[in-house]
Amino acid sequence: MQTVSAAPMPIPGHIDPVPIPRAKSPRSDGKTDLIGLSKEGIRAALLEGGMELKQAKLRAKQLWHWIYNRGATDFSHMTDIAKAQHPWLAERFVIGRPDVVEAQVSNDGTRKWLLRSPDGQDYEMVFIPDADRGTLCVSSQVGCTLNCRFCHTGTMRLVRNLTAGEIVGQVMLARDSLGEWPSQPEGRMLTNIVMMGMGEPLYNFDEVKSGLQIVMDGDGLALSKRRITLSTSGVVPMMARAGEEIGVNLAVSLHAVTKDVRDEIVPLNKKYGIEELLQACADYPGANNARRITFEYVMLKDKNDSDADAHELVRLLKKYKLPAKVNLIPFNPWPGAAYECSTPERIRSFSNIVFEGGISAPVRTPRGRDIDAACGQLKTAAEKKSRAQMDREAEEKMAALG
């Protein structure tokens, strides 16, 4: 019997993110960047460069250690590799970092970097220091396709997925900035990673998986999977794979408890509804009381912040017997936003109801607002220009060309 596959449903947003791997753009200098390559990938690159097999196995192990454990960016610093081989490596390979267009530091110590890829695409990462931890917020895409209406990043068009190297490169650059080489399990400032920057990680599954596997490798960056959280807006079909193949903590951008409201502010809900999403959370591999699922809930005035909403949130989480924690996020305003932040009193009331229902519901303290580094504010500088400003610049360029 012949079967006919159904046409894929469109994803809400500007572009349907078809999950087909794209060929990586080659560097203009013809060299291969080793950042983002697995141990096997480094060995394969050495073999392709002409190194014989036995030596490639040894050199790949040495290079891995120097790159991911020691943070080296120059082959000449690799003291256990023969000096005569340094030029051969330098001719064929680089150990890259993202280009830093701008680095900002907030009044509260939060750091934000605007980064640029070799093909001229901009993306951002944020480091949030606390007394007991330091969290790096990592981007997975240039832009975003989901159009969540409260999120500034969601107003950007999706340009492309970031590669595993660009994902790992954010962690490497943060380590450089914090002076945290060589890698060590204790005493470091960068203790946690959240895949909560620009983009939807589960629409870039393969590259996110490859990048995080490098970050979690005990011989390299050595960050425990218990210290890594992947956030999704609710890409239900990919959630089980994330639990099984990556195994990190899960955060879900819930933000509403009724279909009408979530359809409005998280358009992906029209494809994967609340009940389907919560069932996928209940089925998430490894979730238990020691590793609770975090539900992100941005507080929007008169939209999702009533006492009735709070009671419904408790009911839903209990219905699916979810080991849950709810992060209540005061809305971070941005120019042109259609919403306002709930009042502090309303947020407190909401939090108290959820706590009384037996579910932890702390209110997240906004960080980095003064440099647009807070939750939902990430948007590259190029995208922040007004249409009138971009039109003026285009006219000026045309005039300059005669």
Which helix (H) or strand (E) element contains residue 309?
helix 307-319
**Cα–Cα distance between 72 and 75 in angstroms, integer?**
7
SS3 113: strand
**DSSP codes joined into one string, 324-354:** EEEEEEE----TT-S--BPPHHHHHHHHHHH
Q: Is 375 a catalytic residue?
A: yes
Residues 6+ apart with CB under 8 A from 6: none
Give 101's contacts (C-beta < 8 A, 6+ positions apart).
114, 115, 116, 122, 381
CA-CA distance, 282 to 294, in Å (whole number)? 12
Q: Which helix (H) or strand (E) holds 399?
A: helix 387-400
CA separation (Å) from 87 to 44, 75, 84, 94, 177?
19, 8, 7, 11, 27
Q: Which of 124, 166, 207, 296 is catalytic?
A: 124
Which of these is catalytic: 137, 144, 151, 375?
375
Peptide bond into 182 cis (omega under 30): yes
Closest CA to 383 of 103, 17, 121, 113: 121
Pair of tokens at residue 29:
């200098």
* Unique residue bearing structure tokens 């997975």: 140
Q: Compute the distance between CA of residue 198 and CA of residue 159 in angstroms, rounded to an integer.
A: 11
> Which residues belong to the active site?
124, 375
